[in-house]
Structure 1
């Protein structure tokens, strides 16, 4: 099931799977209409494919967060469920970018599919620019916020930033930039670093991220730092000079990216990502619904680095 080129869930981009202590896997992703936040759950990864989905939050008809609901992630932080997502006031493009900002909703229900979700408002980074793709993680007792944002005076759509959190919906201190699009494989079509995801192993903290345009050029890069380093110091991080996961034309797996990580039923590390299975896209790729959710097992090499392999293969 894991190591094939068959989608786990069709037409779900930016997929995120959280394995919780209650024995359930929780899944969310961008839906093709970009009109709300959908959740489903199952006791197995494979079961997510047939699990009933529920729209737990719908966008309002107008206002700052009334369009293009992108890249939701569900996290259990400090005793409550949060979904972090990006939204825009319209579909208008200004200065070559959409107008997304980052938001969160919250429920304290044990089962988030049955929760009364409350809108928490915008998560302010101190920079009033295009931003999206927030994730959170806890390390050595501290909660961190990690996201993509347009940097003032920096060429491109987005860089990756990190900050410690004061609460699950408020950062403290100044954002720290960890990486910007600069290598040739990060600037194909668009100059992009986005979609960060965190996995830990072998004494290190790893951040995968997506780069370039969201067509067949889309791919994953990797940052890593020692687990005892200051994660807010850019000098703590090393950046791979090559993509770690990219198009596999032979198996018709194109533009793999915007990943998350989870664990299999036996504790193995699992890569969750989206990809298309053809390249001839009519019109704007943004409105093409055929970015499907796939999963595969990640191995670790002799140097303690994650080996992503190739999409569609073990």
Structure 2
């Protein structure tokens, strides 16, 4: 262990204190040798399990370290035998001791969410089941989590068939494979810093985590993934809030992990070694937000990015290991909306 000192200034007070964060020493930007996108990684005991799309299907890897996933054997767990189309962004979670992998497949406006499951992390998956998401619109990047005893599914999708904007939606689940009730929009790309790159404007790759106060967060990616303006931002649910009520969510006032100073939230710095960090995965035990880390130490994550100095294109994305830490007393502000204009609580700092 090493001790790293960081100067911490809250966004609401002109007071600064020194916070000592304990964490493992890190060398470089954490680039792995895996040239791929959209990492989804969970920890099962002392083993890390990751999934990603490859060769018209989905592969799983397991290793004793996060970095070791890059060189671990890729075990194919699903093949697009029905020729559904492009396969993107699988997400692995556990529920009731069983593994579930959610992914999108389709062509153009036909992309929909599917799920496969198994009692084993890297084998034994059956045929895909299409999720009957409310609205039945274009959908990607969906994942399952449980909050306050209720299963929820959160994803990125279209309001209609035009695809001019990708929003974040949430719906209740009665089981890991069965949505119930309506879909609810919880975020739209309407802030200037998340509209730098458009056609369409994008909120995608939602990742749930619970902060030390027990508040729910959805960290997501903004701006087009084809641009170095891609970045991570945060939605924080107010204390006692309803995840299905858009006005109970407060959005960070800028990117929390990105490559351009003018897009960053005040007090957050741009990256040094990578361009366009996005589609992160909090490496939680079983992918369960009940295992979200406490305040204090840094905790691990994976994300994809392009090395600085390299042309920014999808084929140049790599998996990166990184860390994050809870950052307290952070105020998010909003205007022209019902309810209080500000909400103060935990945010996140990300480190390459």
The TM-score by the shorter chain falls in which range?
Answer: 0.7 to 0.9
State whether residues 15 and 30 of structure 1, in contact with CA within 8 Å, keep that contact through their aligned partners in structure 2.
Answer: no
**Segments ≥4 residues shifted beyond 4 Å:** 278-282
Corresponding residue SS for 2:68? helix
Q: Structure 1 216/125 Cα, relative in aligned 2: closer, same or farther at 3 Å?
A: same
CA 217–168 in structure 1, closer or farther in 2 if over 3 Å, else same: same
Matched, 1:240 2:249: no
User: Once the 2 structures are TM-superposed, how far is the Cα of residue 252 of structure 1 from its aligned partner?
Assistant: 4.2
1:15-61 residue CA offsets vs partner (Å, 9 max, x unmatched): 011112x3321111233x4x111101123223323322211111126
1:201 aligns with 2:211: yes
Which of 105, 118, 121 pairs up with 1:87? 105
Q: In the alignment, which residue of structure 2 is the partner of 1:118? A: 126
Partner of 1:144: 152
Q: Secondary structure at the match of 1:7?
A: coil
Match of 2:11 in 1: none
Q: Tell me the SS of whatever aligns to 2:137.
A: coil
Given the two structures, how large is their TM-score scaled by the length of structure 2? 0.75
Aligned residue in 2 for 1:30: 53
Equivalent residue, structure 1, for 2:92: 74
Instruction: Count how many residue pairs are aligned between Structure 1 and Structure 2.
Output: 289
Q: 1:162-311, aligned counterparts within 5 Å?
A: 162-190=170-198, 191-203=201-213, 204-214=215-225, 215-226=227-238, 228-247=240-259, 251-263=272-284, 268-278=298-308, 281=311, 285=313, 288-303=314-329, 305-310=346-351
Q: Deviations over 1:154-174 (max 9, x none)?
A: 873310011110111111110
Per the alignment, residue 99 of structure 1 pairs with 110
The 2-side partners of 1:279 and 1:68 are apart by 29
Mapped to 1, the partners of 2:182 and 2:130 lie a distance apart of 17
The 8 Å contact of residues 244 and 308 in structure 1, kept in 2 or not, is answered as yes
Instruction: Give yes or no for contact 1:298–1:308 (8 Å, CA) kept in 2.
Output: yes
> d(CA) in 2 for partners of 1:227 and 1:53?
42
- Which residue number corresponds to residue 136 of structure 2? 128
Q: Distance in 2 between matches of 1:262 and 1:151?
A: 30
**Cα distance between partner residues in 1 of 2:72 and 2:254:** 37
1:250 and 1:143 map into 2 onto residues whose CA distance is: 34
SS of 1:308's partner is strand
Maintained 8 Å contact 2:259/2:271: no
> Does structure 2 conserve the Cα–Cα contact (< 8 Å) formed by 1:105 and 1:119?
yes
Separation (CA, whole Å) in 2 of partners of 1:253 and 1:38: 25
Q: Deviations for 1:171-217, whole angstroms, at most 9, x for unmatched residues? A: 11101100111112222332001000011112111111111111101
Task: Give the CA RMSD over aligned residues.
Answer: 2.4
Measured in 2, the distance between the counterparts of 1:57 and 1:155 equals 28
Distance 1:195 1:154 in 2: 20
Q: What pairs with 1:54-65 in structure 2 (closer than 5 Å)? A: 54-60=75-81, 62=83, 65=84
CA distance in structure 2 between the partners assigned to 1:155 and 1:83 by the alignment: 25
Q: Which runs of 5+ in 1 are unaligned?
A: none
Query: Contact (CA 8 Å) 2:113, 2:130: kept in 1 or not?
Result: yes
Residues 233 and 250 from structure 1, CA distance in 2 versus in 1: closer, same or farther, beyond 3 angstroms?
A: closer
- Give how far 1:133 is off: 0.2
How many Å separate the matches in 2 of 1:3 and 1:102? 37
* TM-score between both structures, scaled by the size of structure 1: 0.84
Pick closer, same or farther for the CA change 1:250–1:83 going to 2, 3 Å.
closer
